[in-house]
A and B are shown apart, each in its own frame.
Chain A
Amino acid sequence: MSLLSVQGLCVARGGLRTVEGVSFTLDAGQALILRGPNGIGKTTLLRTVAGLQPPVAGRIKMDDDAVAYAAHADGLKGALSVAENLAFWAQVFGGGDVAGAMAAMGLASLSDRPAAALSAGQKRRLGLARLLVARRPLWVLDEPTVSLDAASVGRFADMVRGHLAQGGAALIATHIDLGLDARVLDLTPFRAKPSPDAQPAGFNEAFA
């Protein structure tokens, strides 16, 4: 039984189709790396898989509430401390080991620091630590290593490996080599062909 199965997926950004005909499956313990030039629709594809926008065509099959999504914005509140930020998401997602997650991303010594006082890399690490407390089987990650240093990238790769070893799966859009044993899907061949269908659907798009 695969955690995620995508068939003939077509996604659109701002009403314009970006990629079409994308199919893949992710089983427990597998990771899939998405590649492709800027603007091909990696982020849009990930947002569609995460359920934030509906697909134009195709099917996405997975369990309800399976996705933990992490994108460019980390969802942190500057006025809350590191531990408070994590504890909030742990509560919303139904429990999770806050102290363990902070230790895994090397944030234990910063736990009382307000998130506003963190550096960009530290914020990112906090955003990634949230994945651990969310305890969801499928991680959907959009450029997770932005502003991370080499040591933190290594730590993050270890975290993903641990997640896969526990029967999770990960769908990652990234351009750097994480050293994971993962398949790579290049989206370039799936670029949507210009056609009347590829044009914006206009006002009614909001109500589609």
Chain B
Amino acid sequence: MIALLRRDLTLAVRAGGGFGLGVAFFLILCALVPFGVGPDTTALQPIAPGILWLGALLACLLSLDRIFALDHEDGSLDLLATSPLPLEGAVAVKALAHWITTGLPLILAAPLFGILLHLPGQAIPPLLVSLLLGTPALSMLGAFGAAITVGLRRGGLLLSLLVLPLYIPTLIFGTEMIRRGQEGGATATPLLFLAGITAGTLAVIPFAAAAALRVNLR
């Protein structure tokens, strides 16, 4: 499993791997919003949590189809399925690799993008915590969508349609947490919901995605 994680990370960092594309997309999105709605603090501040989470969500979506599609094309997935590695473990590792290459850079860059959107300083910690808790769920749910669409050509759009609705709970509680942090309110409730959703996906998705992969490999 360590070998698979190391390989996926190496592939992401090498040429054509797409490492950092998600962050660049996130940056552009956050930089475009003030052009669209105007640079006033009064206009930007209320929508900043939503924009930040939507940006993270879409940036995450960009690289989802790579999770299994490339391995399916070159036959690695067949070989992984016949290897001693359980397919559930392979799914979890590949989702983790996706999170490290996409989710983690987003979290690190988010405070900077929060400033671009006039997010007050007291909302930065809730922003970081909500992303840290929420983005693993995005990667896991995405891995499930990628497993379902793995055999399809141009499955990217279908993947988006399947996965985006599943992101709604994470989006709701993620933005709610930042909004409450912005207003100085208690953030415990959305935090617990967010953590619960992530824990649930971590527990269930590897099995669901592995089952989907087995059907698609036939």
Contact = CB atoms under 8 A, between A and B. Distances in A.
Do A and B come together as binding partners?
A: yes
Interface of A: 47, 50-54, 65, 67-69, 71-77, 79-80, 84, 88-89, 91-94, 130, 206-207
Interface in B1-50: 2-4, 7, 10-11, 14-17
B11 A92 contact: no
Nearest to A15: B218
Given A53-B218, A73-B73, A79-B10, 4 more contacts: A52-B81, A79-B16, A80-B14, A88-B7
Task: Indicate the size class of the contact surface on chain B.
Answer: 20 to 34
Interface in B61-93: 73-76, 78-85
Interface in B82-116: 82-85
Nearest to A13: B218
A88 B73 CA distance: 18
Nearest to A94: B84
Nearest to A64: B84
Interface in B184-218: 215, 217-218
B16 A75 contact: no
A67 B17 contact: no
B217 A93 contact: no
Given A52-B217, A80-B10, A71 B78 contact: yes
A79 B78 contact: no
24 contacts: A50-B78, A50-B82, A52-B81, A52-B217, A52-B218, A53-B217, A53-B218, A65-B84, A68-B82, A71-B75, A73-B75, A75-B79, A76-B76, A79-B14, A80-B7, A80-B10, A88-B4, A88-B7, A89-B79, A91-B2, A92-B3, A92-B4, A92-B80, A92-B85
A130 B11 CA distance: 19
A72 B3 CA distance: 24
A149 to B, nearest CB: 22
B144 to A, nearest CB: 16
Interface of B: 2-4, 7, 10-11, 14-17, 73-76, 78-85, 215, 217-218
Nearest to B79: A75
B4 to A, nearest CB: 7
A50 B218 CA distance: 11
A140 B75 CA distance: 15
Contacts of A92: 3-4, 80, 83-85
Given A53-B217, A77-B7, A88-B7, A67 B82 contact: yes
Nearest to A70: B79
A119 B79 CA distance: 21
B84 A77 contact: no
Nearest to A115: B74
B75 A51 contact: no
Nearest to A205: B218
A45 B75 CA distance: 17
A67 B83 CA distance: 8
Contact of A93 (B11, B14, B84): B84
Nearest to A93: B83
A22 B139 CA distance: 44
A88 B3 contact: yes
B74 A74 contact: yes
B82 A79 contact: no
B118 to A, nearest CB: 40
A50 B83 CA distance: 10
Contacts of A91: 2-3
Given A71-B75, A91-B3, A92-B80, A80 B11 contact: yes
Nearest to B12: A79
A80 B4 CA distance: 13
Closest 8 CB pairs of A and B: A73-B75, A91-B3, A53-B218, A75-B76, A79-B14, A75-B75, A75-B79, A69-B82
